[in-house]
Amino acid sequence: MYIRKLTRQVILDYGKAEVRTMSGMLRGVISDGTYIFRGVRYAQAQRFHMPAPPAPWEGVKEAITYGNACPELFTCVPHDQYTVPHYFTVQSEDCQFLNIWTQNIEKGVKRPVMVWFHGGGMMTGSGVEHYAYDGEELSKFGDVVVVTLNHRLNVLGFLDLSAYGEEYRYSGNAGTADLVTALAWIKENIEAFGGDPEKVMIFGQSGGGGKVMTMLQSPRAAGLFHRACLQSGGMRPGNDMTKELSGKLAAYVLEYLNIVPEQVRELESVYYDELARAADYAAGRLSREDGRPVMFGPVKDNDFYFGNPFDNGFIRETKSVPVLCGSVFGEFMNNFASPVGTGSKNSWTEEYKKELLNEEYGEKTEEIINAFQKAYPDKNMADILFLDVDMRRNAAAFAGLRAGFTDAGVYNFQFNLESPFNGGTVSWHNAEIPYVFHNAEYLEPSFIPGITPKLQDIMSRAWVNFAENGDPNGCGVPQWTPFGGEKTSTMIFDRECRMGEDHDLELLRLCPSRKVDFSKLMGSKK
């Protein structure tokens, strides 16, 4: 289905698709009335150094192809390649590029701006990696300006060399600095694309949610965005990359490469594949020493990043920012990514369901079944096995923490729609993205006749409303009660949308945490 969209004729009208930025003129394309600018440079940087504004140019620069993505320590074809189709683009350390979709580039027009941070942890991905990230339909549906972007990741974005000289003071947050610089570029230039620099929403999923949380905790980003949305990421307590941990990582990288501290500048010219091997070694060694998985990510430096709010509280600079946050029912526990039992879950007998549930929950089984049926009366009892309790618990806790900090408004959601794929598959990690971007009809596993058009209208509208007003309500969105007070209010997106008021508190109390073997979810290397 998506192929039809990708092959649709794109009309080039050079005279009408030109805009002037602070650095020079750009020429994009027009697709069915949508102005699209791809591969727009927002910064440039040397390895491990802070980004600088793009150099000005003469004449008109083409913005018709996507820019480079950051190199990855590994590039895998994920387990969910069918359910979430991926687009793999050229990789290069020169990766500070963004993409813009807008309906109008006339002067004086100011529309809300929705800036997407891609997933992939802080390790992989790009602003165009998933076909669902395409911003054309969302821009058209909501009459908004949509922006996606690439930035430095993994060892390139988060190797803390500050112990080896002032010039590397912020190298542990080079990737974070890229995000801040991109938002600064948007503030300076987005009016030329029909956007309102005073109505900028940042939103992201998985690792992208983590990036949104980082911006909420970065004084450097204060004033560059005005709403924030975290989807299935960035809401987990603890596990900050401290200066102590980041210092050890850097030392192990140098050790692997046989580079003494006095010669640290040699790192700037090490071939990336070798640097990646050193980074993999360092992360593995530190994980074994620390007793938990350690990956490259923002360093708590009390400058670019003040650390996880569960441990450090929210910073006052972003107190006025309303927040929308939530998760999906299955996440990584869904029955496609983490198979349980034999055959399709919707074909199981009641006896077989009970057998599997007893194996998982023992003497708590009946109590958990009762709590689940109260929380989700329309769900299959077998779905208890595929509920991601941890992500749901973290999202509710984050919403509560934020609501106790600000009265700007906090809105919590849960995406619970089951796909008919594979005999019935609970919502998976990424499943809500096509609905937010109004692209669900282009992705076959996401499309349910009679359900998808209505639900994606509701979800896209809620996100657009939030970008416009800091409040998802209005224009056909079911009444969405803010989180806080005496009840945990959660909008449940499903075949029928409804508010859940303390709907799953007992279930969350009863259900133990469950671990996912992510190594089984990575798929095969490209």
DSSP characters over 289-337: HHTS------B--SSS----HHHH---GGGTT--EEEEEESSGGGSTTT
Question: Is 76 part of any domain?
Answer: yes
**Cα–Cα distance between 55 and 111 in angstroms, integer?**
27
Find all residues with CB under 8 Å of 234, minimum gap 6, and list them: 204, 209, 210, 211, 212, 213, 214, 398
Give the domain extent around 283. Answer: 243-290
Asked whether residue 173 falls in the same domain as residue 259, the answer is no
The tokens 């079911």 sit on which residue?
Answer: 478
Are residues 137 and 55 in contact, defined by beta-carbon separation less than 8 angstroms?
A: no
Asked whether residue 203 falls in the same domain as residue 265, the answer is no
146: helix, coil or strand? strand
Question: Is 412 part of any domain?
Answer: yes
The pair of three-digit structure tokens given for residue 193, joined into one six-digit string: 């694309």
Question: Is 296 part of any domain?
Answer: no
Q: What are phi and psi of 149, to 5 degrees?
A: -150, 160
The pair of three-digit structure tokens given for residue 46, joined into one six-digit string: 């040397």
225: helix, coil or strand? coil
Left if phi > 0, otherwise alpha if psi is -120 to 50, otherwise beta: which for 155? Answer: alpha
Question: Is 297 part of any domain?
Answer: no
**Cα–Cα distance between 297 and 313 in angstroms, integer?**
19
Residue (of 429, 424, 328) closest to 382 by Cα position = 424
Asked whether residue 372 falls in the same domain as residue 515, the answer is yes
What order of strands is seen across the sheet that includes strand 489-493? 29-31, 34-41, 97-102, 145-149, 111-117, 195-205, 227-231, 323-328, 410-415, 489-493, 498-501
Residue (of 413, 423, 425, 419) closest to 385 by Cα position = 425
Asked whether residue 228 falls in the same domain as residue 310, the answer is yes
Asked whether residue 184 falls in the same domain as residue 332, the answer is no
Find all residues with CB under 8 Å of 215, minimum gap 6, and list them: 179, 180, 183, 202, 221, 224, 225, 228, 318
Asked whether residue 340 falls in the same domain as residue 447, the answer is yes
95 to each of 40, 190, 237, 313, 354, how far by Cα in Å?
10, 20, 30, 32, 51
pLDDT for 85: 74
Count of helices and strands (H, E) across the chain: 14, 16
CA 373 to mean position of chain CA atoms: 31
pLDDT for 296: 94
Question: Is 209 part of any domain?
Answer: yes
Question: Is 439 part of any domain?
Answer: yes
Are residues 45 and 96 in contact, defined by beta-carbon separation less than 8 angstroms?
A: yes
488 to each of 403, 485, 505, 513, how far by Cα in Å?
10, 8, 8, 20
Asked whether residue 396 falls in the same domain as residue 312, the answer is no
Q: What is the CA radius of gyration of the chain?
A: 23
526 to each of 26, 90, 277, 458, how far by Cα in Å?
34, 13, 17, 37
**Amino acid letter at 376?**
Y
Number of domains the chain is built from: 3
Asked whether residue 178 falls in the same domain as residue 247, the answer is no
What order of strands is seen across the sheet that includes strand 60-62? 18-20, 25-27, 60-62
108: helix, coil or strand? coil
Asked whether residue 36 falls in the same domain as residue 137, the answer is yes
Find all residues with CB under 8 Å of 349, minimum gap 6, and list them: none
Find all residues with CB under 8 Å of 509, minimum gap 6, and list them: none
- Over its length of 526 residues, how does the chain's per-residue pLDDT go in tens digits? 444 454 454 555 555 799 999 999 999 999 989 999 999 999 999 999 999 999 999 999 999 999 999 999 876 655 566 567 778 889 999 999 999 999 999 888 899 999 999 999 999 999 999 989 999 999 999 999 999 999 999 999 999 999 999 999 999 999 999 999 999 999 999 999 999 999 999 999 999 999 999 999 999 999 999 999 999 999 998 889 999 999 999 999 999 999 999 999 999 999 999 999 999 999 999 999 988 888 999 999 989 999 999 999 999 999 999 999 999 999 988 766 677 888 889 999 999 999 999 999 999 999 999 999 999 999 999 999 999 999 999 999 999 999 999 999 999 999 999 998 888 889 999 999 999 999 998 888 788 999 999 999 999 999 999 999 999 999 999 999 999 877 789 999 999 999 999 999 999 999 998 776 655 555 444 4
Left if phi > 0, otherwise alpha if psi is -120 to 50, otherwise beta: which for 302? Answer: left
CATH number, domain with residue 233: 3.40.50.1820
Asked whether residue 249 falls in the same domain as residue 233, the answer is no
Residue 318 CB neighbours (<10 A): 22
pLDDT for 11: 52
Asked whether residue 145 falls in the same domain as residue 275, the answer is no
Asked whether residue 81 falls in the same domain as residue 214, the answer is yes
For residue 374, the surrounding DSSP H or E stretch is helix 365-375
pLDDT for 526: 45
